[in-house]
């Protein structure tokens, strides 16, 4: 962005540009007064103006001149907000607490009413068939509870009331459970595709399950390791360069590809990232994108040689560019706009094991409890058999003594 602005400025001044290229913006060489990169050329008076925007730094003030022409846009952590199922149990989210309580009360009230209705039928009527008599004699709280659980799980029950009041209560129970079940499953489907909004600050990013990578640029190797702020220092030590691991300074292609796969935040220049995203992403993938600012420093400025005779001329030229909105025009041409979410529900979302973790956990707990009960019953059966053998053996001995 700095090169077209400098071209416009030199056209205003009726001057021409001669380009030389450097790999670095410029940093002080250790144990020396010399500087590398663009800053070094300006310091050695080999160049008059810097061709790119440069971050403001106190140690650069004595050797270069900053121009009050500020760059728009700062590098960002760009990532996909994790799915709701990653940070919360989606199986308890479809209903709020009031609906859960009302549903539970509905099942309890209908079950209790059914129990007393059946007992009332036994008291009032003489059943005609042996089957009716056997069913009526077996009705208890256990049968009612299992019938209610079967209704909740969309399963049938062998228990059928013999008279109209009990059957009407069962119809009401199954109809109510059907509407609740339909609403619940519809909400689950939408929640499986819904992104969360849990990561809004750097501290949220540090405490999240997202991995973090940084684009392999020279200034990132300086700003990140030298961070003194508690949150930024923790981010670098915990996410970017954990002890015993290689720091995650990645190339653009590798970083943005990992970001697309999910659960990865990549620190990069937003315009290049948005251009790649707009070109390669499906529409529904753009809807979960989010970003966080990391650098807590003034924005980048244009720079020129210290004590340059043409300083005032450059200031006038840059001011004219700003006043006539030429900069805004070039910014819109060169900077890619942020991707917009226009088709949030247009994609197919696979259900992973992480999404069904609560269900699998309940399933495994049920298997574990069943196995424990089985082992207890088996142990109890063996104990009863051994006890019976012991009793029979003692009875035989006592009979022999009597004889």
State pLDDT tens for residues 190-245. 777 777 788 889 998 998 888 999 999 888 888 898 888 899 999 999 999 998 88
Q: Which of 302, 295, 286, 372 is nearest to 337 (CA)?
A: 286
DSSP-derived letter for residue 238 is: I
Token pair recorded at residue 265: 């935040």
User: Mind listing the pLDDT tens digit for each residue in 332-364?
Assistant: 777 788 888 877 655 566 677 777 777 888 889
Q: What is the pLDDT of residue 253?
A: 92
The alpha carbon dihedral of 288, 294, 297, 301 has a sign of negative
Q: What is the pLDDT of residue 140?
A: 73
How much is the mean pLDDT over the chain?
82
Q: What value does the mean pLDDT take over residues 116-124? A: 74
Say yes or no to pLDDT of 133 above 60.
no
The alpha carbon dihedral of 18, 19, 20, 26 has a sign of positive
Say yes or no to pLDDT of 372 above 90.
yes
Say yes or no to pLDDT of 136 above 70.
no
CB 168 within 8 A of CB 56: no
Q: What value does the mean pLDDT take over residues 170-175? A: 86
CB 56 within 8 A of CB 44: no
**Higher pLDDT pick, 397 / 47:** 47
Reported pTM: 0.68
CB 157 within 8 A of CB 150: yes
CB 209 within 8 A of CB 82: yes
């Amino acid at each position: 962005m700095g090169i077209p602005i400098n071209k416009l400025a030199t056209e205003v001044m009726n001057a021409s540009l001669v380009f030389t290229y450097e790999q670095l913006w410029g940093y002080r060489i250790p144990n020396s007064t010399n500087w590398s990169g663009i800053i070094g050329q300006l310091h050695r008076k080999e160049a008059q103006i810097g061709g790119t925007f440069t971050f403001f730094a106190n140690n650069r003030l004595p050797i270069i001149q900053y121009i009050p022409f500020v760059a728009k846009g700062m590098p960002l952590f760009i990532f996909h907000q994790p799915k709701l199922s990653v940070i919360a149990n989606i199986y308890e989210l479809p209903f709020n607490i009031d609906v859960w309580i009302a549903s539970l009360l509905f099942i309890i009230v209908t079950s209790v009413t059914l129990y007393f209705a059946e007992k009332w039928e036994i008291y009032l009527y003489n059943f005609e068939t042996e089957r009716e008599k056997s069913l009526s004699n077996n009705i208890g709280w256990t049968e009612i509870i299992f019938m209610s659980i079967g209704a909740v799980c969309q399963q049938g029950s062998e228990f059928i009331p013999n008279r109209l009041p009990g059957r009407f209560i069962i119809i009401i129970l199954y109809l109510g459970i059907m509407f609740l079940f339909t609403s619940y499953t519809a909400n689950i489907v939408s929640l499986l595709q819904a992104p969360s909004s849990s990561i809004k600050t750097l501290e949220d990013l540090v405490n999240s399950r997202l991995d973090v990578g940084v684009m392999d640029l020279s200034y990132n190797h300086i700003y990140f390791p030298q961070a003194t702020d508690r949150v930024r220092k923790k981010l670098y030590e915990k996410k970017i360069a954990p002890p015993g691991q290689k720091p995650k300074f990645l190339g653009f292609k590798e970083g943005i590809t990992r970001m697309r796969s999910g659960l990865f935040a990549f620190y990069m220049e937003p315009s290049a990232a948005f251009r790649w995203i707009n070109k390669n992403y499906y529409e529904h993938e753009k809807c979960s994108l989010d970003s966080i600012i990391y650098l807590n420093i003034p924005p980048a400025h244009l720079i020129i040689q210290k004590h340059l005779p043409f300083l005032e001329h450059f200031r006038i030229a840059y001011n004219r560019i700003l006043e006539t909105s030429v900069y805004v025009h070039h910014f819109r041409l060169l900077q890619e706009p942020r991707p917009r979410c226009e088709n949030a529900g247009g994609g197919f979302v696979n259900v992973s094991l992480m999404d069904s973790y609560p269900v699998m956990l309940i399933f495994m707990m049920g298997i574990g409890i069943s196995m424990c009960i089985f082992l207890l019953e088996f142990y109890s059966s063996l104990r009863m058999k051994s006890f019976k053998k012991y009793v029979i053996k003692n009875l035989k001995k006592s009979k022999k003594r009597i004889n």
